[in-house]
Each structure stands twice: as structure tokens, then as C-alpha cells.
Chains A and B, each alone.
Chain A
């Protein structure tokens, strides 16, 4: 039976499809743009067990367990997630796998939705494992299948690296059918799986041997190929840049590397022998360029002299970089536009807004974390002062207090609920153990809102909608030794403010759980509020909430009834009693 069909798929859908066809039975991930849809898509296929792990390290460890138990496994995360999972990854390289294990790293050049743009191809080199870089959705599907085979043949985890333009672009994909794989089961083999120094030293040379074998494989792999004509110059591309070069310079000679670590050295030398000059086109770091230059002494090799190392490349940047006008290494000039920006916002009715309003009013120092609530850093709230990585806020608050013990009275760490389960518990343990007194605010909106509302251990709901015992954050905080734990409603400003003030001077650690579900979770909204123009003094206090439903209209504030969902924050903030419930118009039946 052949049932090949062609479908328009995003790179992420295609990765999930490839995993399904390759017989993957376990999928794990922690959400993170641009990787999130991979697991969401995977969970829709029959015969697969997919679940959200609390963080990327656990996701990979679960993946390792499933692989050792003989299953084919896909583990997905955004680029910075690999930092969290790097510890198991480095040693997994030594142990090797059972069933094939593919780790997808979705990188984000240009930082469309990330805190940095690290180039995760370096991880392949660091871990000495193969690296695959698809250039469209079809390759995303194909490379997943090829990668899982490679993983089993060479007893290695495989890194598949996408970028935002691969993960979030749609293109046509020819699909096939699922190939069920017989699962062998865990083979006890301490010398392979127990990495004590004595055993690890014995595995170490095998890693080098495997790398040499992979290099030979890269020479033969259909994922690497040459095309085009011409002897003047040859382009070496990986990932999306292949598409940019093909469009900018049709017909040019290209060595396309889909299997880009370890490098097919002979193939590159042979390619270089047919052209006068090599131009390496890659986004972010000169990862290929530096290796290729070392490989080809005497051959002119350029790359980052022509194209920026910062942000994404584009067809236009390739055209300009190769037009002989010299370097465009600084990238596209930043948009010089006088147009007002349209940044993402805390939604009308967002429970985070109340918290940041109070924190700003109290002029506190607020080490923060990553999630929707990071938007509390932007004007007009401007009440979040650090954001480094997930889980960092509490540790930073502890550090500020270590540096200046008086800081505890004016510092509050904020962290979201999903982020708390991801990596906030250990620093809370440190807060108690280090004898700190800082107050922690857990912004519990009952979801992972930022990445599109995934459930997490605190909601107890799984990716498939099953229910598990939800973790009680209050009890958990008490269990690690915090005695002062309170739950408050972030939309009751006065109560929240007095609670925070009290806890700042409590002389011991406190946790305040600001709990109210994300407004996008489908709760029925309250009726919109309205402003009484007679009473409004145009003082602008309500506008300081940064609510999209509120604006200045003439010499009075006004509420957009289509956006307002009646959260009531503005009426609490107004000192003139000008904001209240809508008076139903005559004939208005609701």
C-alpha cells in the first residue's frame, strides 16, 4: 500500500510527522518558541506517548530512559532549553542510546521570541554528535527519519537544528506511512550506561571512533550534495541559507550540507578543487567557516566578512554581500521608522497587571523571570528589573540580599507558575538555606501562557487532557521550609499591597502566590466598565496600568467596551470615583 500524500506543513508539523513515520513511540519536550508545536502535533498521532516535562533537562532524561528501554524517541526544545538539558546530553554522548534518540533544538536567530540568539550547532561539536540542518519542511520530515536511523546505527544521540524560519514556515511535504519498530527492551550493561570514571574512560575513545565513522558517513550521505554550475566561486550552505542563496544567485555552484557535523572533509576538498573561491553562508556564528578554513589552507574562504554574524540572513543580504560592494557585516540597517511600535501587551484583564502596579507603586527592586509577566518591565509599568533565563529571578534576589542584607526589605522576586516548576524550586530551597529573608511572588495564572497555554504540573492536566494530582504550590513552599506562605488575588490591589508591605519586613522568607487564571483561558468576562466624563479629572492614574482598553480621549480617559472585560483594576486605581459598571442602555437586554 502506498499512501504518499502532499500536505502543506510547518517545519514543526513536518518534524512531528517524520517522528511518527519513523516509529517514534515516546516524545517529550518543554514548551518554548519556536519549538512548541512539535510536541503538540506529535501528541495527535496514535501509538505515541507524548508529554510535557517540567523542564528540558527532565525532558531529555525521560527521553534517555525511553531510548534505553528500546523505544525510538524525539525530544524537542528551544535553543536555550538545550542549555538546561546540556548536562545529560554531554554524557549521553558517551553512553550512546538504545532506540534512536533525536534531540531537536529550535534556534531563534533574530530573537523573535527569545532572550538570546545562541548558535546551538556548537552543541553538536561539544558533545561530538551528528548535526542535521533541514532547509524546508520536506527536509525536516526526511531528516528526522534519517536522524533516527543514524542514531541507532552509530549508537549516538543526534541533534537536529532548526531555526524560526524552518520551524514556522510552511511548505509542501510528501508524507509516507508509519514504520513500526520492534522495541528490544533495556539491556543491562553497566560499562556502557554507568558513567563512573573507570567506565567513562573506556567509553571516551569510542566517542572519537564514532566521530570518525560519522565523518565517513557524512561523505556518503545523500543529505550532503553539490549542485549548480560555475568555477569562479562555490557556496557552502546549511539550513535556510541554502534557500536564500538559490534565490539570490540562481544556478550558482552550491555544496549543500544537510549533515553538517562532523564535516564531510573530502567532499569539501573536492568541491573546493573545482572553484577558485569558497563562500560560506551561515546564520549566526562562523561555525562551518572556521572549520572549513582550517581544512583548506591556501584556498580563499570567506563568510562572515560578507554576511552579518548577528540576526537572520535574507535574500537581499546575500545579494548585497556578494555584489562586491564590500561587507554588509552589520546586517540590515535597523528600521528607521517614525511609526509607533506595537509591542506585545499584557491583555486587558491580565492578572499580572495588578501585581506590577503594586510593585511599581511601592518602588521595589524586582528581579524577574521569563513569561508573559516579563512584559511588566515595559512602560508604563516598568516594574521588573532583571530577566536572564528561566528560574533566575529568585537566585538573583538571594544574591542581591547576600551583597546587601538590607535589600530584602525592598526586593521582591517574581516568577510564573510554569517557570516555578521549571527551575524555581531549587533557588527557593537556596533562599531558605542561605538564611535570606527576601519575598517571592509566584504569579500563578494556572497555565504556561507565554508559549500558548500549555498545562503544567500545577494544573495537573496532561497534553492529552487527562488529570493527575495537581501540585499544591503552597504546600510545596512550606515543605522546603518557607513558613510564611500566602495566596492572594492579584486583582485586589489594596489587599495585595498591604500583604506585600507586611512580608517585606517579616524578617524571614515569604512566598505570596498571586493566583488568578489567565484571562485568555475562556472564563466568561464581566461587563465592561465605563468612565463618567463628569467625574474624570484626566489625572492619568488609570493609564499608568498600561491596559489596552484604556486611552485618553480628549481631556478624559476612556474605555473601549470591546476590549474591556471588567477586571476592575482601573476603578480601584481611580481616586475620583469616575470608573464604574456600565449602565445598561435602554432596550439593552443583556
Chain B
């Protein structure tokens, strides 16, 4: 068992972006390494384009399945507005991996509200460690748009301190066989991603 300390993370996205699956893979990887792990999901609304958040907690022993506000070590966001929405959960030392995608919510679509400006700046005001990623422009995702979540997971995974091999096994345990190869490719691309110097 590799030694990582207690790790709390939030995965935020929009229904249909693979948030639930990403949570499952992280939990499976932690379990591979012998940790206690708990996740908490809100489904129900997941399919209808509502905002979705998954809490994942990894430690020798986990009690509550929810990360207390202000204590998340990582925020993985598949959409910019959702990153802002769940930013209050991040600890002052926490890291954000954020996809550059914008998905306009209904109030914006019908013109009663506007999509927030300067999201990256607002994230940086709260965290010194923000990794913005334009997943849609990265090679494996261009070919297979639905693997964006796993590519972003690869970037986060590099920070978590679990061995690459556990992730490989977690991916094959969590996905149907015909999806293994493309998702593993996306994960690897994330794992070897070099964030631009800021």
C-alpha cells in the first residue's frame, strides 16, 4: 500500500459528462491500494443536464461520505461554471483541475442570466494551484469526445500519489471491455500532461 495521507476530492460536472463513472474509477483505484474509501453521489437529476457533484474520500478509515465545505484537497471540474459553484468546498491549499468547456445553463440560454466571466481568474483568487485544460482539443478526446472525463482524471491522478498500475486496473474494472482501450489512452494522455507554466 502506497502511503498517501487522507485525501478528499470533489468531482463536479453537468449531467451526461461522466461524473458518476469518474468517481467510481477513483474509488476503485483507492480500493486497489487497500484504502478505505467512500463516495457520495447525487443522481436523480443526472440525466437531465442538471449540475452533478460526487464526493470521494480516501483514508485509512473514512467516516462521513461527504467532504466538509472548505476541506477538499482537489476539485476536478468538467465544466467551468461548475468549478465555480463547488469552489467553496476547496481547502485553501487545494488544487483545481478544470476543463475549459462552457455549457450554458437554461437561465443563460433563455437570456435571463449571463455566463460568469473570468472564471480562471476567480479560481486562481482562491487557489494557487489551478490547472486549466482544454480537453476537447487534446488528441484522444478529439477522436472520442466522451473520454474527456477520463483524460482529466489522468491529470488529477498524477497528483494523487496512487501507482499508475492501480489506475489501469481500476479503469478496466469500472468500464465495459470495449471501452477499455480508448479510455486507457485518454487516461495516459492526462497522466503525461504538462501543465503550461503560469
Contact = CB atoms under 8 A, between A and B. Distances in A.
Instruction: Determine if chain A interacts with chain B.
Output: yes
Contact of B113 (A8, A314, A340, A345): A340
Given A165-B65, A172-B37, A340 B45 contact: no
Nearest to B16: A347
Given A342-B49, A342-B51, A546-B106, A168 B41 contact: yes
- Scoring B39, B42, B43, B85 by chain A CB atoms within 10 A of each residue's CB, the highest score goes to B43
A585 B74 CA distance: 43
Contact of B37 (A171, A247, A548): A171
Consensus secondary structure, chain A interface: loop
A19 interface: no
Contacts of B104: 551
Interface in B1-58: 14-15, 24, 27-28, 31, 36-45, 47-51
Contact of B49 (A339, A345, A380, A451): A345
A347 B43 CA distance: 16
B48 A340 contact: no
A244 B64 CA distance: 5
A543 B111 contact: yes
Contact of A244 (B28, B50, B63, B111): B63
Given A316-B69, A341-B105, A548 B49 contact: yes
- Scoring B49, B51, B110 by chain A CB atoms within 10 A of each residue's CB, the highest score goes to B110
B173 to A, nearest CB: 10
Contacts of B41: 10, 168-170
Contact of A346 (B48, B63, B114): B48
B125 interface: no
A345 B24 CA distance: 25
Contact of A8 (B15, B28, B109): B28
A243 interface: yes
Given A344-B48, A347-B49, A339 B85 contact: yes
B7 to A, nearest CB: 15
A543 B63 CA distance: 46
Given A339-B84, A452-B47, A344 B15 contact: yes
Interface string B64-89: 11101100000000000110110000
B99 to A, nearest CB: 15
- Scoring A112, A341, A378 by chain B CB atoms within 10 A of each residue's CB, the highest score goes to A341
B50 A342 contact: yes
Contacts of B107: 340-341
B112 interface: yes
